[in-house]
Every structure is written in structure tokens, then in C-alpha cells.
Chains A and B, each alone.
Chain A
Amino acid sequence: MNAHHTGRAKALAYLIPLLFPAIIVAGLAGVILPAFGWFPALGFHSFTLTPWQILFNTPALMEMVLVTMFVGLSTTAIALLLTLIFAVTCWQTRLWRITARSLSPLLAIPHSALAIGALFLLAPSGFFSRIAATPMGWTRPPDILSVNDPLGLSLIFTLVLKEAPFLCLMLITAVSQTPVKRLLTAGRALGYSPLQCWLKLAWPQVYPKMRLSVLIVMAFSLSVVDVSMIIGPNLPPLLPVQILFWQQNPDITQHLPAAAGALLLLLLVIATMGLWLLGEKTLQFNLRNWLTAGHRGGQKPLLMKCGKMTWSGTLLMALTALIVVAIWTFAWRWRFPDILPSVWSLKSWIRYFPRLLDPLVTTLIIAVSSSVIGIALSILCLEFRSPEKPWQNRAVTAFFYLPLLLPQMTFLLGIQTLLVSLHLDGYLVTVIGCHLLFVFPYCYLSLSGSWQQYDQRYTQAGRLLCGSPWKTFWQVKIPMLLTPLLTTLALGIAVSTALYLPTLMTGAGRYETLTTEAVALASGGNRRLLALYALMQMLVPMLFFAAALLTPRWLHIRRKGFSLSAGQRTSRNES
């Protein structure tokens, strides 16, 4: 590579991280202007407060806002509490190791697929009712509002099943960066029980490292659309769902209150995060004395046992939801209150699988393209940015968290407004580009660790031996980093497969992916078809993760075999 090319690549490497927040800021601008009545593409040329008047005149708006806030805060608090329970009760136990191993596959599953599983568990004719039917004497599904409940309890349940494992993964990472073992030893040597040591010494140091992830969970829970459309609440819906309804309304005047609603959602997210941080400070202030009052606490074995059972129960419920989805794809006759189907069959697969092929291919095209581009851009950034400037790396990382901390609905609506204005909506390239907005940060964050750990001396040796930076890059560095690259590809595919709003809003309804179809089918009554979609949603990322795990092993075995046969050849020649 000559200096000219290197200079260009360097400029790109610095430009890309700036481009992404710029798109998001443009997206925010694209929502602010229509919120105040200015949307030239739809024929609105003057600034007015009418969109806000329409918004505030919406029936049950207050309920929508309150339930959205309740769901966001409750999900975050419960998921965090479960994470704390996991930390306190499972530290240095077998359950900790089992959890650490099972988190990645669980996190690869799209939210909507898990929501379908939760629907199959919680519905009046769902798996839980079937288990309860015999002791309760039910012969018909009970008349209870176990899903689509107005308070969003079923939604909270579903989100917790997905977000608690995410926070646990973040906890495990935070624990690995904190001398927890030594802190606990120090605390216990001062006479404190392990429980008190965790609460008073380890957690206050681990939590700040997880705070950003907690806020991401909160932002997601406050702006979730696909899960809410599957499991409720419906009457009234959550604020982000109502915004989507306005946005999809054929009456174009409804686009303006949608923009005002999206802005309100942004304010709601900021206010709720502020409330959470204020709560943290208040709690910290009030617990100051408790921290140093000297209460050593007892062993509390029963409490520890209950904690372990609670965490095991959470993992078990997530697993059960996924198993029930798989069962439904093979169930031909599954009458209430049977716990298992009375007739098993492949008929659903034979009948419905052809219907799945188009969405599957579209999903794969979008997911693979966005992930490959995401990886290529990440490599460009990592290769050409100076590692000696940590503040730059921190700033870039902060930029990447932006799409995760802001409500998707808000800036996507703005991006859609811009795309409509530029007549760029509805193209596959646009959808891939929009997916890239979410896939790229994950690719970058996933690869950056391995890139930093790579021993540069291999590259130096390669360049000295062959004289070509390109050849060294492709034949030395890339094969050595194959495992993280494949894992990142699988991660990117998992992220893209799960995306609902970006496909829907930038694709102008022309592209059906597994997720958009699954969400659309959720309100229908065909459980077998719905289960098939959910299962495919799970299988796509899982297959890529399995490939990421097995390919390097297979290559290693093949290389070993090759070197063995080469060795045998040599010894034969010698003899």
C-alpha cells in the first residue's frame, strides 16, 4: 500500500465513526422539524404547534406515557435485581459457570422470537395454564388477562427474560475487571459475611462499570415496539407502538403527531434516565451510614438458596419458552389442557416452510451484507486509527453507544423523513444501510478487543519475510484473527435478524424479513406458523454462531492432519 492510499484509508477511519452519530443527529433533526409542522415532502411548509395539539388530544395519552415509563423502569429494576441476586448467590459456584456458558446463545435469540415463546407460555391456553390445569381443575383455558394486560406485566416478564441475561453478561465482564475475590477476602477478614461483602464492597465497585448497560436496557425497554406488538399491552398500546400506528396511517397528516410523539418519547427516555440516576444518588446518600455502621450480617443460607433458585428459575423459564416454540412447530394436535401434543407431525414444516423461504432469503441478504460491511468498516477503523490516543478511542466508543441509548423510534422516524424527502426510501441498499447503523457498533466493539490483543510482531515478521503488507494482512493477520472475525459475523447477523423497526421504516414495507413477518403474524391465530417463524429467527443466528465456533476447530484439525501427513511424507522419504 502506498502512502497515498494509506492517507485515504486513515481519513476514512477517522470519518466513519463521525458519520454514524451524524446520521443519528440528522435523524433527530428529521423528527424535530415535522414535530413543529414542517414536512415539505408531504406538503407541510409552515411551522405550527398543531402536531402537539393533536398529540395531547389523543385519548389515553397519559396512560400510554405512564405505562411506557412503568414498563421501562420495572424491567430495568427487576433485571438489575436478578443480576444482583445472581452475583451474590452464584459467585464461584457451578451455576455461575453454567450461566456464563449459556448466555451467548440466549442473547443471540431475537427479542421477538423470545416474545413469541413467552406468549406460548403465558397465554390463557399457554404452557403455564396447561401445567396449572390439572391441580386447578380447568378443562378450558381460564378467562384471565395473562397477556396483553393493560399494565404491561406480561411485557415486563418477557423483557426481563431477555435483559437479565444481558446484564449478567455485563456483570461477568465487570467482575473480571474488578478484584472481587480479594475484596471479599478483605471484607471477610474484617468479620463481614459473604452476602454483606458483596453488597457493601463488591457491588458498589461493579455497578458503575455496568451503568451504561443498565441505561441501554432502560432505553430499549422504554422504546420497545416488536415485543410489545406480540405480547401487549394493546388498549392503550405503549407510546412507541402508538407512534408506529400514526406513522403507518395512510392519512399523511398523522405523520406530524407521530413526529411530535417521537420527540415526546425521547424526552420520556431522557427524563426516566434522569430519574434513575437521581434515584441512584439518593440511594447512595441514604445508604452511606448503613455501609459503615459495622453490621456484619449472618450467613443466611436460606436466602442464598432462594436467590439461586430465583436465578435458575429465570434461566429455566427462558429455556422453556424456546422449547415450547420448538414443540409448536411439530405439534399437530395439542388440545387444552394436554401438557404435550397428542399428535406430532412434520406437516407444519412441509406446509409452511416454502412460505418462509422468501423472508429467510431477505433476512440473510440484509444480515450478511450489513454484517460483512460492518466488519470491513470496523477493520478499517481498527487498522488505521492510532492506538496511542486512548481519548480518541473512548470518544469513538461513546459515539457507538448513541444508537443504543436513544429510542430507535425517534431517530428512525427522522431518518425515514429524510429518506422520503430524498426519495431514497424503499431500496434494499437503504435497508442494509439502516441495519448497518446498529450492526456496525456491535462489530466494532466485538472486534476491538481481539485487534488490540493481536501481537504486532507477527505482522512485522510477515512483512520482513514476504515484503508485502497486503499479503501479510490476508495471509497472517486475518487467519490468526479468524475466530473473532467469525464470531463478530455471527453477532452482526444476530443483531440484524432481530431488527424490526429499521426494516419496516426504511424499507417502505417492501421487504419481509423473518422478524417483520413474525410480528405481523403474532396477532393471528396460527400458532404453528408463528412458531415456525420464531424458530427460524432463532436458528439463523445460532447456526452462524455454531459455524463461528466449529470452523476454526475444523481448520485446526485439517491443518494438523495436513502437517501430520506432511510429517509422514518426510519420514517416508528419509527412510
Chain B
Amino acid sequence: MSLELDNISLAVAGRTLLEEFFLTIKAGEIVSIMGPSGCGKSTLLSVICGAQSPAITTSGNIIVNGHNVTDMAMEKRRIGLLFQDDLLFPHMTVNGNLAFALPAGLSARERSYRIDEALAAADLPGYGNMHPDNLSGGQRARISLMRTLLAEPEALLLDEPFSRLDAHLRQQMRNFVFDTVKDKQIPALLVTHDRQDCCERIIELNASKTISGDVHD
């Protein structure tokens, strides 16, 4: 699996945010994007997943696992998205939230098996019948990630997923997400403000200039 951004340019109301941007993320690799507010980090994510507003003009190609998805509707791109807040659906139980992400046509046994597996991976076995309101922030964040992964995405976008967590939980969740991404061999793009969140490769965006490099301790 891979995620490729081929010659991407972004502009909002005539203001160029990004120009001739190239990036390839390999399976299991996590690339971090950093930069000041308004430099276009989140806009880039919205363009990749296909949720950009009509006010944004774009050019270039988005290639997921060898398929050009640029002109596809958001729901057809098979790109998972993890938000700042977990966005668990409050009218469904944890089981319901996880089942929502599973593909149609699976047998009841298979669905149940996959949900149990996801709960075990999130270290939350037995929490299936609980409502999201009864979970802690960290538990919700883990369920949210498992829900995203159950949809079997071919690439993962992480939009500051740790920013609302406290320091201890942040470290825990970071390890959980990074390990899961590596384990599932999904290419992931992480937008963050915090250098501690960054992994192998960092791209710093700054007013249409992009600098890429490696993480320095």
C-alpha cells in the first residue's frame, strides 16, 4: 500500500498555499506535516480525502495504492481519517460504532469476530455494549482508531489526533497509533503542531515553501 501526492497545488481565494508538492508514503510509514496555523496543513488533508470546500482550487493527482483517486467521491477513495476529536456516534454503542465501519455482506459471526478482535486490539474487551459517553478520552480515541481501521482503508490521515489528550494519554495513544499503523502496513500522513508527535519523516510547510527532512532528536 502507498499514498502518493503528485504535483499538488492548493489555493484559497487566489492565495497559494502549496505549490508543486510531491510526496510518497510507503506502507507502514508515517509522515508528519508541521507548520504554523493557516499554512494549509488541514486543507491539504481535506483535499487528499476529498472533503475540501469549493472555495479551494487544486491541481495535481492523488494516488492511493496505485489508483488515481483525484476525481473520486470522498467515500470511494478508501482513505481513513482520524480527527482531533474522536467523533464516535453518540446514538450507537461501541459495538454499533465499530459495526458501522465494517463492509456489508459479512455474516453475523464474522462481524462479531472482527468487532471482538478490534476491541481486544484496543485493549477494551467487554466494552462493546457501552455507550461512547461512558468511556474515557483515551478509550474513545482508541475505539475511534479501531473504527477507522475496520473500514480497511488503504491510507490513513491523522488530523492532530493527539492534541486534545493529556500528556500521559498522549504518549500512550501515540504509541498505540504508530504501532497499529506499522502492524497493518498502512501509509499514514499526520498533521501536528507538536514535534514530539512526529515520527520518521517531517515535512514543514511554510507559506507555499515546503521543506522536508528527517526527525532530529
Contact = CB atoms under 8 A, between A and B. Distances in A.
Nearest to B108: A289
Interface string B51-77: 100000000000000000000011110
Given A189-B81, A189-B148, A190-B151, A293 B104 contact: yes
Of A186, A189, A292, A294, chain B has the most CB atoms within 10 Å of the CB of A189
Nearest to B49: A189
B101 A291 contact: no
How many interface residues does chain B have, given as a range?
20 to 34
Interface in B87-115: 87, 89-92, 95-96, 99-106
Interface residues of A, number: 24
Of A182, A186, A192, chain B has the most CB atoms within 10 Å of the CB of A186
A294 B96 contact: no
Contacts of A293: 99, 104
Contact of A294 (B79, B92, B100): B100
B80 interface: yes
Interface in A182-239: 182-183, 185-186, 188-194, 200-201, 204-205
B104 A295 contact: yes
Contacts of A193: 73, 75
Given A190-B148, A192-B75, A201 B89 contact: yes
Contacts of A385: none
Interface in A150-206: 179, 182-183, 185-186, 188-194, 200-201, 204-205
B178 interface: no
B73 A299 contact: yes
Interface string A488-519: 00000000000000000000000000000000
Contact of A292 (B74, B80, B90, B99): B99
Interface of B: 49-51, 73-76, 78-81, 83, 87, 89-92, 95-96, 99-106, 147-148, 151
21 contacts: A183-B87, A185-B49, A186-B81, A186-B87, A188-B73, A188-B75, A189-B151, A190-B100, A190-B147, A190-B148, A190-B151, A191-B78, A192-B75, A201-B89, A288-B96, A291-B92, A291-B96, A291-B100, A294-B103, A296-B75, A299-B73
Interface of A: 179, 182-183, 185-186, 188-194, 200-201, 204-205, 288, 291-296, 299
Given A188-B74, A194-B75, A292-B102, 4 more contacts: A192-B75, A291-B92, A294-B100, A296-B75
